[in-house]
Amino acid sequence: MEDFYDLVLKLAEATRNHEQYRDQECINMIASEGIKSPAVKEMQAAASDLEGRYAEGDNDLQGHVKKRYYQGQKFMSPIEDYATDLMKSLFKCNWADTRLVSGTHANLATFKGLSLATKNRKMVVTPLSCGAHISHDYTGLAGAVLGIENISHVYDINEMNIDPDRSADVIRAAKPGIVTFGGSLFLFPHPIKELKEVCDEVGAYVAYDSSHVLGLVAGGVFQDPLREGADFITSSTHKTFPGPQGGVVMGNTDGKRLDKAVKKIQYAIFPLSASSTHLGRLPALGVAALEMKLFGNALAKQIVKNAQTAGQYLYENGVKVLCEHKGFTRSHQIAVDIRAYGGGNKIAQDLEDANIVCNKNLLPYDDQGSKGDPSGLRIGFQDVTRRGFKEGDIKHLCDLMLDVIKGKRKPAEVQQDVKALRKEFAGVQFGFQNAEGAINYIKKA
Ligand SMILES: Cc1ncc(COP(=O)(O)O)c(C=O)c1O
């Protein structure tokens, strides 16, 4: 083992190097990551005491603090209530819980709560290979931790979406307690509206995992899950929604059916799965909610436009972007079958060598065993959009990607151009440059 003190020095140095590399020198196209404004970062830094505090206890059916077990909560309880109310207002619902520390935690509490409420351990979900998150799957949180049995939605590979007619038959036959929508490879709105009636018929709660698309939902594009029939939204708060890393569950209480579910979800949060709830993220979450209220629509529209522009441009230049017949995507991401150029593993690595960071991804027709070298790439546009890329800039970036994908230039050579392009987009748009700016804006408004 290395010397203890050396390890500390190396840790500090690696951290500095990481910040320089990923934050300054790379172009980030990982679809599951987000980019915070300077104001959001400032609020996070301003809450360093809060970050170390505990607020164990119960909440009421508005999502507000009801009872806390520790003293010293004078300002903490209002902070939690304010953040919760901001999310409720932004997503037009009357209940939210902001105590979740991640999207996985939000799924844990929701799946557990809903299976307690229904006394039914069956859940219909998208297959993992077709874009579900591991936390939905029997091999991950849902199955291995919660003991929930998965039954798969029928997925239409050509449409890159759930087949509503055939999934209705599955739901009718399986009679699950939960039907889940949303996912990680997520190009088109899922058919909640089309399947709501059959979910009601069998008494299943509808959960929608909006981790990837929460910012698009806030911006009023993609889909509006709570209006389309979802009972609950579970989510991360740090992907297209540009907040601090964390989670949230949202929905509506109604006096009976949903109240029962909310109480069980709250129980699944505390005491079942949370002790410290990482309160230090809440002020920053509130500023991110403000930014999305003010700039979310323009941001979301531009993100989708940029993703579609890249889809079209790469496709026209000989790269197999999926779903050309549907305009490639309606979200922040595109899916590319890159086998013709060497496969997901090779191309993701080559792009990384050029400082363009995206991820290799299984495509629905891949064998589950080929995770190490899948057919695809998943490419996300939320980060570059927030940095100010418009359609012309996206095409320029695609040209650099094409140079690498087609082996026209060595990745190390392209890297110089990528660094220069990254430098041109130094700021973060669609947000506030500091917390004072956000506060002044509100005072003037
Ligand atoms: C659909 C979906 N749900 C949940 C998660 C997990 O989110 P977190 O990392 O916040 O736990 C992810 C992660 O990318 C995701 O894609």
Residue 318 lies in a domain: yes
State which of 100, 111, 211, 378 you would mutate to test the pocket of ligand 1, scoring each by most atoms of that ligand within 8 A of its C-beta: 211
Q: Is the CB of residue 279 less than 8 Å from the CB of residue 76?
A: yes
Give CA–CA dist 270/57, Å, rounded. Answer: 7
pLDDT for 419 beyond 90: yes
- Ligand 1 mean position to 103 CA, how many Å? 5
Nearest CA to ligand 1 atom 1: 183
Q: Could you list the residue range(s) of the whole structural domain that residue 98 is in?
A: 46-285
Ligand 1 within 6 A of CB of 126: no
- Ligand 1 mean position to 211 CA, how many Å? 6
Q: What is the pLDDT of residues 202-228, one digit of tens each?
A: 999 999 999 999 999 999 999 999 999
Same domain, yes or no, for 229 and 141?
Answer: yes
Same domain, yes or no, for 304 and 270?
Answer: no
Q: What is the pLDDT of residues 11-45, one digit of tens each?
A: 999 999 999 999 999 999 999 999 999 999 999 99
Residue 430 lies in a domain: no
Residue 240 lies in a domain: yes
Report the pLDDT value the prediction gives residue 368, as an integer from 0 to 100.
80
Same domain, yes or no, for 111 and 173?
Answer: yes
The CATH number of the domain holding residue 318 is 3.90.1150.10
Same domain, yes or no, for 322 and 382?
Answer: yes
- Ligand 1 mean position to 102 CA, how many Å? 7
Same domain, yes or no, for 308 and 327?
Answer: yes
Same domain, yes or no, for 272 and 407?
Answer: no
Per cent of the chain over pLDDT 90 is 97
Q: What is the DSSP letter of 38?
A: H
pLDDT for 297 beyond 90: yes
The predicted model gives 300-312 an average pLDDT of 98
The predicted model gives 170-196 an average pLDDT of 98
Counting beta carbons within 10 angstroms of the beta carbon of residue 342, is it exposed (0 to 12), middle (13 to 18) or buried (19 or more)?
A: middle
- Indicate the residue among 238, 253, 285 that finishes a domain: 285
Same domain, yes or no, for 311 and 238?
Answer: no
Report the pLDDT value the prediction gives residue 254, as an integer from 0 to 100.
87
| Token pair in block for residue 232 | 């609950």
pLDDT for 425 beyond 90: yes
Same domain, yes or no, for 281 and 401?
Answer: no
Structural domain count, the chain: 2
Residue 200 lies in a domain: yes
Residue 277 lies in a domain: yes
Contacts of 90 (CB under 8 A, 6+ apart): 218, 289, 292, 293
- Ligand 1 mean position to 113 CA, how many Å? 18
Q: Which of 302, 303, 241, 234 is nearest to 269 (CA)?
A: 234
Same domain, yes or no, for 266 and 304?
Answer: no
The predicted model gives 245-265 an average pLDDT of 96
The CATH number of the domain holding residue 193 is 3.40.640.10
Ligand 1 within 6 A of CB of 133: yes
Report the pLDDT value the prediction gives residue 369, as an integer from 0 to 100.
81
Same domain, yes or no, for 151 and 265?
Answer: yes
Report the pLDDT value the prediction gives residue 158, as an integer from 0 to 100.
97
Same domain, yes or no, for 366 and 302?
Answer: yes
Q: Which atom of ligand 1 is nearest to the CA of 184?
A: 16
DSSP per residue over 4-24, as a string?
Answer: HHHHHHHHHHHHHHHHHIIII
- Indicate the residue among 259, 285, 311 that finishes a domain: 285
- Ligand 1 mean position to 30 CA, how many Å? 13
Nearest CA to ligand 1 atom 4: 103
pLDDT for 301 beyond 90: yes
Residue 435 lies in a domain: no
The mean predicted confidence, pLDDT, of the chain is 97
The predicted model gives 316-329 an average pLDDT of 98
Give CA–CA dist 369/338, Å, rounded. Answer: 17
Q: What is the pLDDT of residues 355-405, one digit of tens each?
A: 999 999 999 999 888 888 899 999 999 999 999 999 999 999 999 999 999
- Indicate the residue among 231, 260, 285 that finishes a domain: 285
Same domain, yes or no, for 51 and 34?
Answer: no
The predicted model gives 100-114 an average pLDDT of 98
Report the pLDDT value the prediction gives residue 445, as an integer from 0 to 100.
86
Residue 5 lies in a domain: no
Three-state DSSP state, 156: strand
Residue 185 lies in a domain: yes
- Ligand 1 mean position to 315 CA, how many Å? 28
Ligand 1 within 6 A of CB of 237: no
Give CA–CA dist 316/310, Å, rounded. Answer: 10
